[in-house]
């Protein structure tokens, strides 16, 4: 298995709903990432998990709550979102290695989120 999968592909939710995005990889990668991408803009990093521990939170509002249950799974729990949170949410993973290693991030297909 050489890919990052994300579910669902599309999600429409109201501002009072609670939903979750799921990301999975079985490549043995130990770093996993959540990005948010608005139309015609590059991805913006939200969270980084390294060895199942949250290592970076790019000042993301608390209505976004990440979770890494194990080395293959990454979730993003959503609650009380705003319409401006509508975007493509990308998950990525990268293999273990040092800071100067030839690491590459492998991206999933994304979840298209619409907040009404």
Partner 1 sequence: KNQVEQSPQSLIILEGKNCTLQCNYTVSPFSNLRWYKQDTGRGPVSLTIMTFSENTKSNGRYTATLDADTKQSSLHITASQLSDSASYICVVSAPNAGNMLTFGGGTRLMVKP
Contact 31, 50 (CB under 8 A): yes
Nearer Cβ to partner 1, position 16 or 102? 102
State the minimum distance, in angstroms, from the CB of residue 73 to partner 1: 17
Supply the minimum distance, in Å, between the C-beta of residue 69 and partner 1: 21
Q: How far is the CB of 43 from partner 1 (least distance, A)?
A: 6
In our burial notation (b when 16+ CB lie closer than 10 A, e otherwise), range 60-70 reads beeebebebee
What is the binding site for partner 1 (CB under 8 A)? 4, 6, 31, 40-43, 45, 48, 56, 88, 90, 92, 94, 99-110, 112
Sign for the pseudo-dihedral over CA of 55, 112, 94, 45: negative
């Amino acid at each position: 298995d050489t890919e990052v999968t994300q579910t669902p592909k599309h999600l429409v939710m109201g501002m009072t709903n609670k939903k979750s995005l799921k990301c999975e990889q079985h490549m043995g990668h130990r770093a996993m990432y959540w990005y948010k991408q608005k139309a015609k803009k590059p991805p913006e990093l939200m969270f980084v998990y390294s060895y199942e521990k949250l290592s970076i939170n790019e000042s993301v509002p608390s209505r976004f709550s990440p979770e890494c249950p194990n080395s293959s799974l990454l979730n993003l729990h959503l609650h009380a979102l705003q319409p401006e949170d509508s975007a493509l949410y990308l998950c990525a993973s990268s293999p273990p290695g040092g800071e100067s290693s030839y690491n590459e991030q492998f991206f999933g297909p994304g979840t298209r989120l619409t907040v009404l």
